[in-house]
């Protein structure tokens, strides 16, 4: 992440050069990732592991939310359709 203060928004040429430098850094990181399987060598990092109960819980929440929304949409559309048919 970059601070807003370090981005030269007032000068188009400097902004262009800054963006090109950022893309060059990105390309270097991607090349290293494709070659070695990591973005930066010896970069400290940790793998985030979620428990299966948490994954299943999230999945169940979103599935239930989706089904409730489908039921609400069905009821609303049925009401609108029955109203239009009664006219």
Domain residue ranges in the chain: 1-45, 47-87
Phi, psi dihedrals of residue 17, rounded to the nearest 5° = -65, -40
pLDDT in tens, 22-74: 999 999 999 989 998 888 877 787 888 999 999 999 999 999 999 999 999 99
DSSP label of 3: -
d(CA 42, CA 47): 14
The answer to whether the predicted template modeling score (pTM) of the entire model surpasses 0.85 is no
Task: Taking residues 14-25, report their average pLDDT.
Answer: 96
pLDDT band at 1 (very low <50, low <70, confident <90, very high): confident
Which of 55, 56, 38 shows the shortest CA–CA distance to 47? 38
Note the helical H segments in the chain: 12-36, 52-86
d(CA 79, CA 19): 54
Residue 30, pLDDT score: 93
């Amino acid at each position: 992440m970059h601070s807003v203060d370090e981005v030269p928004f007032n000068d188009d040429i400097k902004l262009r050069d800054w963006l090109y430098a950022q893309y060059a850094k990105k390309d270097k990181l991607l090349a290293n990732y494709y070659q070695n399987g990591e973005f930066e060598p010896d970069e400290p990092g940790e793998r985030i592991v979620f428990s299966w109960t948490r994954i299943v819980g999230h999945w169940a929440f979103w599935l239930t939310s989706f089904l409730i929304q489908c039921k609400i949409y069905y009821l609303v559309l049925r009401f609108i359709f029955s109203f239009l048919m009664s006219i």
